[in-house]
Chains A and B, each alone.
Chain A
């Protein structure tokens, strides 16, 4: 994997030097540790884990089969160093055999030739092969630039965008997506920040890359006693910094990006947070006359930016199927391609290169201004209520697609797109800066025998798809909040001597200034309305997701069955994840489980911008450029309504996991 080829990442030595300089007095006064000078021995644990998963039928009706054969070796090492410093390191190496053992689904033999919708029947058929669009260079207006080189973008090794998670209705927009590893098929390969251009060996051994991800963690720490009786705790190195009090949802816990390619949302966050080079310092003030505990934490993520890993198309875990959308779009930009039911909303169209798609990914380079800074005050009140106040300025870990102003070619004329021609489905990917303030608290509610957790965050700077805007995105402020209740409950038929944990959470997301026009409510200058459907932002203005965890403990807690149910109320989809953990010995743990999804994605369609009218007069009247009529499909924006659960509707997995400590 190549990381930001135009610039080398700063060396570790530079990182440490910068941190030492930043922490100035106390750290220097304490002296940096001598790794070899301690008298205490290394404390080392070595683990092996196998995680094997089988997946049922996807939306095409085809049995997916083996979805994971992941073998992980992990070494955790601790050492007390001189002068009160301590070192903690975690090394991890993974080999996932799924790419070779099920290569017809995820490896070099994945995909094949595809056909795409042509609902009008123009040309004699309601479907066409990729490369055989009815609207093409031969059929377009004089001087047009439709059509592409089928040799550069052959009809092989492809799947139809979205066929993993939804059916392909005959009138929907769609296009082909190359799905083989990027050393086998380079089409559409882009580095989106750790995924998108990975070869087979990089997919099966993801930690061994230029960012040295096999070093999961490597940091030094020290608690420095100050003369005023307070303490300064410092922790420097590659690490995870965890904020917040919520399970499963990341409201405040956004300092480290997350690798969803490992197991979607189903692994423990500690195993999928992407550790970053971070300096943190905590000024621990302890109690005061009015508070039981007070701490001020500063977190400086000085590592080079990296976003969430959403999973490369063609791998088993591509959350939101985003990796497929990106790769398909990048391929369209590079090579052109056939798009189903595009012209007139019903005729397969062969676009040429540089007309639609994803052009570039703007990954922030390392610079001081691109580093990320957080501050947290954490305290406990006199009455025992724990709380935190948090602020963070960071880069969005999710990509934003900003419509191009210039650069694309007008396929109707072959001329460059002008700035007046808006709402074109051609993008660059950006990771905008986001500022967040928030807080969390927990307390005991004795009347219901439960602990209550609250967490909330307000962000500015996040960007969302928006078909009512010229560049097809808008910047919106967002509030996210979670309330969680943990109640240990005696359920005699499960265990009469020990409580069963019932934990429920409700997540709420509100997008401020949400722009959404119901069908027929947006009036274009000509007086036309969006007669075909809603226009604007596909994300829900208010979305709610509820989770319930029921976890029982049997055989002295060595056998623990659990059930997690998650319901996305707006997408109308749910996930049910039963699991049984068995600690056979102190060193051997076995887990069997499954996750099943249900509900319906029928409502999860949205304006796909076929009717956005970017190129008047060919696509509509000049007066109404950029005014979409609201013609909708599952792709590409239905994923934002379906959410991670809805998009994984056809990823029902059963799994077995074995973890052994040597």
Chain B
């Protein structure tokens, strides 16, 4: 057994060592549509996929979305596939640091990574660690860039059967990369950083009254083997509580999302066993925000309008979907007591994000939740996001298909460093409020 394992590791190590990505790989990674947009017979911009014609397009749909349409919960409106040109600084960093990142002996080990996409080469089904490399590409992906905020962020809890709106949460969510920064000063790292933190997420709840002033801080270490530090400030206790690991897989504020679900997957690479299952063209929710049917329900002071929702129980966003090149990636928790048996991600090849379409399976192996986050092209969103090269998360739908319940999210994503000062991501910041 040990011998077999050693051989596997050696093979993997050799495979990693033997392969060297080229600039052409980088070009292909960030522009997979150089030779043309993907297509599926019968599918074109303007097509509406519904219960009646879903079988025709089954292969172009993520499994979870297919089920939602087949059940008659949702109709997918198809838009044209568009280029989401990546952040130039991130692309440059990828080129500059090409082939410096190497996997270590264990899942979650990486050495030599500086910045950019660590493994831009096309994944190979023969590579036993291809899934892990994609997970690293996600972890060190552009995601929200060096820093950004969803400011504000509205979550609604709904009974999908009745459409009853149970709760509306208003919060601000902030992101900051401490390390591997590519664009916003300071580059490449905010220092001093004695704990070698990689990234942090800070959340502050503004409404409703019983959750008001609840704050969450998650600090992730660059060393993927180290557990995240997570803190919760409860407004009614006026005290910061350290969260135990188990709480990151609990429903966050009673929603259908775990903390671990944030952004598609919000955990360590080493928490999961990653398996690359292949590449396919699938429909993912990606659009131009300004071209959508929007809602003014939150009466934003700046006149910003949010993505509207419809479908069964108003659990689904009114956004368009486009055919994208995606890597199918399966993540199985290392911890046997994890409430999730596996997640299946459809990773957008160009952006490297995981959250366009996700299926979450329960411990019995049955589909539990269907999770989709729609992205807007930054040039067709708020003016300050123009030219950032960051896909702006714009709306989400998390459907618990077993309990027929959903949580929806409406974003006002702002790529603005001023909203995310470094001290906001320290524990003391949570205590300084009310």
List residues of A whose CB falls within 8 A of some B CB. Answer: 45, 47, 88, 221, 223, 231, 233, 235, 240, 242, 244-245, 247, 268-270, 282, 284, 286-293, 295, 378, 380, 382-384, 386, 442-444, 446, 449-451, 453, 486-490, 496-499, 553, 556-558, 583, 585-587, 589, 661
Contacts and interface: CB of A to CB of B under 8 A. Distances in A.
A439 to B, nearest CB: 15
Given A242-B239, A270-B236, A287 B193 contact: yes
Contact of A231 (B237, B241, B254, B423): B423
B194 interface: yes
Nearest to A383: B195
A343 to B, nearest CB: 52
A523 B355 CA distance: 80
Contacts of B168: 586
B432 interface: yes
Given A270-B236, A488-B250, A442 B242 contact: yes
B426 interface: yes
B207 A586 contact: yes
Contact of A293 (B207, B250, B255, B426): B426
A498 B250 CA distance: 5
20 contacts: A233-B432, A245-B239, A268-B236, A286-B423, A291-B194, A292-B426, A295-B428, A378-B428, A384-B219, A386-B231, A386-B427, A446-B227, A451-B241, A498-B251, A499-B246, A556-B166, A557-B254, A586-B167, A586-B168, A661-B208
Given A386-B242, A490-B339, A286 B208 contact: no
Contact of A450 (B192, B239, B244): B244
A293 B246 contact: no
B245 A446 contact: yes
Interface string B398-434: 0000000100000000000000001100111001101
A432 B255 CA distance: 50
Nearest to B209: A661
Contacts of A45: 209, 212
Contacts of B337: 490
Contacts of A291: 194
Nearest to B364: A496
Which interface residue of A290, A292, A587 has the most chain B CB atoms within 10 A?
Answer: A292
B426 A286 contact: yes
In the complex, which of the residues B167, B194, B207, B236 has the most CB atoms of chain A within 10 Å of its own CB atom? B194
Contact of A451 (B242, B250, B428): B242
B237 A487 contact: no
Contacts of B243: 451
A268 B246 contact: no
A444 B229 contact: yes
Pairs A-B, 10 closest by C-beta atoms: A557-B254, A586-B208, A488-B246, A556-B254, A451-B242, A292-B195, A451-B244, A661-B209, A442-B242, A242-B238
A375 B350 CA distance: 52
A201 B243 CA distance: 45
B210 A589 contact: yes
Interface residues of B, number: 51
A282 B434 contact: no
B56 interface: no
Contacts of B208: 586-587, 661
A287 B194 contact: yes
A231 B157 CA distance: 38
Contacts of A488: 244, 246-247, 250
B197 interface: yes
> Most chain-A Cβ atoms within 10 A of its Cβ — which of B193, B256, B337, B431?
B431
B20 interface: no
A284 B432 CA distance: 10
B253 interface: yes
Contact of B237 (A270, A290, A453): A270
B205 to A, nearest CB: 12
A384 to B, nearest CB: 5
Contacts of B240: 386
B432 to A, nearest CB: 5
Given A242-B239, A583-B210, A558 B250 contact: no
B167 A486 contact: no
Contacts of B239: 242, 244-245
Contact of B250 (A295, A453, A499, A661): A499
B210 A288 contact: no
Nearest to A487: B244
Contacts of B431: 378
B284 to A, nearest CB: 27
Contact of B209 (A292, A446, A586): A586
Interface of B: 157, 166-168, 191-195, 197, 207-210, 212, 219, 226-227, 229, 231, 236-247, 249-251, 253-256, 337, 339, 362, 405, 422-423, 426-428, 431-432, 434
A444 B432 contact: no
A240 B238 contact: yes
B211 to A, nearest CB: 9
A583 B254 CA distance: 11
A322 B219 CA distance: 47
Contacts of A286: 422-423, 426
Given A45-B212, A292-B195, A497-B339, 20 more contacts: A88-B434, A244-B239, A284-B423, A284-B432, A286-B422, A287-B193, A289-B194, A293-B426, A378-B428, A386-B231, A386-B240, A451-B241, A486-B242, A486-B244, A488-B247, A490-B337, A496-B339, A498-B251, A558-B254, A585-B166
A486 B243 CA distance: 8
A284 B256 CA distance: 36
A231 B208 CA distance: 30
A247 B237 CA distance: 9
Contact of A47 (B194, B209, B423): B209
Contacts of B237: 247, 268-270
A449 B245 contact: yes
A583 B432 contact: no
Contacts of B191: 287
Nearest to A240: B238
Nearest to A488: B246
B189 to A, nearest CB: 12
A130 B72 CA distance: 82
B227 to A, nearest CB: 6
Nearest to A501: B247
Given A242-B238, A498-B250, A556 B157 contact: yes
Contact of B244 (A231, A270, A295, A449): A449
A390 B240 CA distance: 16
A587 B212 CA distance: 12
Contacts of A450: 244
B339 A380 contact: no
B240 to A, nearest CB: 8
B399 to A, nearest CB: 13
Contacts of A244: 239
Contacts of B251: 497-498, 553, 556-557
A583 B197 CA distance: 37
B363 to A, nearest CB: 8
A448 to B, nearest CB: 9
Contacts of A497: 251, 339, 362
A315 B71 CA distance: 61
A453 B242 contact: yes
Contacts of B405: 556
A557 B252 CA distance: 9
A288 B251 CA distance: 35
Contacts of B242: 386, 442-444, 451, 453, 486
B311 to A, nearest CB: 19
A412 B238 CA distance: 56
A556 B168 CA distance: 12
Contact of A282 (B193, B241, B428): B428
Contacts of A270: 236-238
Contacts of B210: 583, 589
Contacts of B195: 287, 292, 380, 382-384
B190 to A, nearest CB: 9
